[in-house]
Amino acid sequence: MSSMPSGGDSRKMSKGRRSSLSVEEASEGLLMKGPWTAAEDAILEEYVRKHGEGNWNAVQKHSGLARCGKSCRLRWANHLRPDLRKGAFSAEEEDRIIELHARMGNKWARMAAELPGRTDNEIKNYWNTRIKRRLRSGLPIYPADICLRVLNNNQESLDVGTLKNESGQHDDASQTDNFDIPELEFQNYEIHRGLPYAPAIFDIPENLFQQSSDSSHSYNAMSSTHPRKRLRESDELYNNSFDGYISSTVPLFDQYGNYTSKIVSDHPRFSSPYDLLLDTGQFHGYNFPGSHAALNGNTSSSMPITEAMKLELPSLQYLEDQQGSWGMPASPLPSLESVDTFIQSPPTDPSWTDPLSPRSSGLLEAIIWESKKNLRDSNNNSLTQTPENCVSNEAFKNLTLNPRMTECDEQWELNSPLGQSAASVLTDYTPINLCSMDGPQSIETTQNHDTNHRSVPQFPPAYSSRNNKRLRKIDLTRPDALFEFGLFENSTEYSKDQNVLRNALDALLGDDFQG
């Protein structure tokens, strides 16, 4: 490889990488790989100046550049575009990235569209290194102030949405099915109509809903550069998935994990209570402190917990005909990640009487603790259980998000459909049904695959029959969804909050809400 450092960052790339070809090879019709040379950059710039962007595969044909179209597009978008902002992120940009990530998850392109002159790759790299740094130093991924800001923004936008709702124009099912655009979106679109490039309607990031005065909030070159940006399936989910969600009790934690709660909104479009849980550093669905998976950037089965949803099968698929295996992977051994996590997070007091006290942890843990307690209680009381309850409970047992294992966990784990630690569940095996961090498609997927699968949560009849479509979007990894199914019905410590929540649910769902 004879590539020379390119103009963008000359401190690197003195050598080629991977299986780069020599110039000679390239001249024989093979495509170059590896770092771009200044000469190649010049050719590409010249080409774009003449022909404009797009049709990248034609670059090679027209300019003789021995690069594939994909590579050309990337080089242009990430390095040669004249509107790029080079250099380190400013403090404001960093804040914005964190905020955007809290709201969007790993939607780098969306985030880039919110940060003028920055590319998705840049943001992604920044985020990954930032994550590493923070995990290393034991800091929460999302600072509390940014969580609050996201919360407030959502509150504002949702208030508007609620008003719309009250006007009787909102219908979840029809909206989802017909891709009706909420009028609110058009309103926000109006706000930005003065921009040089009109974004595709479906491409409007969720935070356009916020009525923020944030001046940096605009479509920038990224949007303008890619006016034909297409909507991916995940984006549709992103834009529509929350129509299926109901009100959320938003857990708030300070830096020390102290719990408060706040009813944020009764509008289904609330962004993500998980985002806030993450702030505690206790929810390890994304990256565990010390997790190899996290450090290696293996995030495909982890975050985004929130809107960024991508339907992917877990890396270790189970065979449905594995009798009694509960989809347990071939090896029941915990993953390195989980072992590592255990080391980092030693078990708490394993007393069986109160094995999962939420005393110093976050809401989600408290929720789990509470629901497990309820499960025990209900089992002890030998209450009649409907098949739905059984399945829901079984499924819910999987939902152990805190890797601090207790005897209680261990006992359940013996019967767990996964037969492994929750930590490894979240990092490695991430079952589709409950622990998938990839979003609300999970239920739909599993139902479609095998309606008899034991770990598939079943819905109460009222839901199944009347709101099937909307329910398919409900993600049981979300505490709000768990509330919805009455899994915490007998909560004591959080009963007050639940009452408020229940009222909101009543208001939203009416008869459908069985709370």
Q: Which of 106, 402, 406, 458 binds DNA (CB under 7 A)?
A: 106
The contacts of residue 359 (CB under 8 Å, 6+ apart) are: none
Task: Look up residue 252 and give its two tokens.
Answer: 């708030």
CA angle 104/107/112 to nearest 5° reads 105
Sole residue written with tokens 């630690």: 421
Q: Could you say whether residue 32 binds DNA (CB under 7 A)?
A: yes
Nearer to DNA, 79 or 453 (CB): 79
The whole-angstrom separation of Cα 175 and Cα 182 is: 8
Beta bridge partners of 259: 253
Query: 274 forms bridges with which residues in the sheet?
Result: none
State the DSSP H helix or E strand holding residue 161, giving kind and residue range, or none if neither. helix 144-166
Cβ proximity to DNA: between 54 and 350 the closer is 54
Dihedral angle, C-alpha 139, 141, 145, 148, nearest 10 °:
-140
Among 38, 42, 74, 328, binds DNA (CB under 7 A): 74
Rounded to whole angstroms, the Cα distance separating 259 from 465 reads 36
C-alpha dihedral, 74 to 77 to 78 to 80, nearest 10°: 110
Distance CA 263, CA 155 (A): 10
**Taking the complex as a whole, how short is the minimal distance between the CB of residue 296 and DNA, in angstroms?**
6
For residues 76 and 37, give the distance between their C-alpha atoms in angstroms, rounded to a whole number.
Answer: 13
Which of 155, 176, 299, 430 lies at the binding interface for DNA (CB under 7 A)?
299
Any idea of the CA torsion for 282, 285, 287, 288, to the nearest 10 degrees? Answer: 50
Among 22, 23, 38, 69, binds DNA (CB under 7 A): 69
Within a 10 A sphere around the Cβ of 112, how many other Cβ atoms? 27
Minimum CB separation of residue 237 from DNA in Å reads 9
Beta strand ranges found along 217-358 (DSSP E): 248-253, 259-265
Assess 54 for contact with DNA (CB under 7 A): yes
Pick 108 or 429: Cβ nearer DNA = 108
Min CB(382)–DNA separation in Å: 45
Nearer to DNA, 68 or 160 (CB): 68
Tell which one of 85, 292, 310, 466 touches DNA (CB under 7 A): 310
For residue 2, the minimal CB distance to DNA (Å) is 12
What DSSP element (H or E) covers 112? helix 108-114
Cβ proximity to DNA: between 15 and 496 the closer is 15
For DNA, the closer of residues 16 and 143 by Cβ is: 16
Interface residue with DNA among 27, 46, 62, 70 (CB under 7 A) is 70
Min dist CB 489 to DNA, Å, is 35
Provide the minimum distance between the beta carbon of 252 and DNA in the complex, in angstroms, as a whole number.
26
6: contact with DNA by CB under 7 A: yes
As measured in angstroms, the least distance from the Cβ of 408 to DNA is: 32
Site string for DNA, 203-242 (x = CB under 7 A): -----------------------x-xxxxxxx--------
- Select from 129, 152, 322, 351 the one that contacts DNA (CB under 7 A): 129
Choose the binding region for DNA from 188-196, 290-298, 381-389, 462-470 (rule: CB under 7 A).
290-298
| Residue from 85, 95, 116, 121 binding DNA (CB under 7 A) | 121
Who's near 339: CB < 8 A, 6+ residues apart? none
Please give the C-alpha separations between residue 76 and each of 47, 57, 107, 173, 209, in angstroms, as whole numbers. Answer: 11, 13, 20, 41, 31
Token pair for 301? 């089965």
Q: Which amino acid is at 441?
A: Q
Q: Closer CB to DNA, residue 119 or residue 361?
A: 119
Taking CB under 7 A as the rule, does residue 126 contact DNA?
yes
Number of residues that bind DNA (CB under 7 A): 65
Among 27, 30, 83, 136, binds DNA (CB under 7 A): 136
* Bridge partner list, 250: 262
Decide if residue 132 touches DNA (CB under 7 A): yes
Stretch that binds DNA, among 143-151, 295-303, 334-342, 373-381 (CB under 7 A): 295-303
Q: What's the closest the beta carbon of residue 175 comes to DNA, in angstroms? A: 17
Residues near 249 by beta carbon (within 8 Å), at least 6 away in sequence:
261, 262, 263, 264, 273, 363, 479, 480, 483, 494, 497, 498, 500, 501
Per CB under 7 A, the segment of 9-17, 183-191, 418-426, 462-470 that binds DNA is: 9-17
The reply on whether position 145 binds DNA by CB under 7 A is: no
Residues in CB range of 95: below 8 A, 6 or more apart = 146
Please give the C-alpha separations between residue 491 and each of 203, 353, 374, in angstroms, as whole numbers.
40, 17, 8
Q: Is 344 in the site for DNA (CB under 7 A)?
A: no
Strands in 212-270 per DSSP E: 248-253, 259-265
| 284 near DNA, judged by CB under 7 A | no
In whole angstroms, how close is the CB of 233 to DNA at the nearest point? 2
Report if residue 51 touches DNA, rule: CB under 7 A. no
Q: Which stretch binds DNA (CB under 7 A): 122-130, 184-192, 417-425, 500-508?
A: 122-130
Residue of 187, 88, 105 whose CA lies nearest to 141: 105
Residue choice 124, 217, 292, 469 for contact with DNA (CB under 7 A): 124
Token pair 């080089």: residue: 75
Q: Which residues bind DNA (CB under 7 A)?
A: 6, 8-9, 11-20, 32-36, 54-57, 69-71, 73-75, 78-79, 88, 106-110, 120-122, 124-126, 128-129, 132-133, 136, 226, 228-234, 295-300, 304, 308, 310, 312
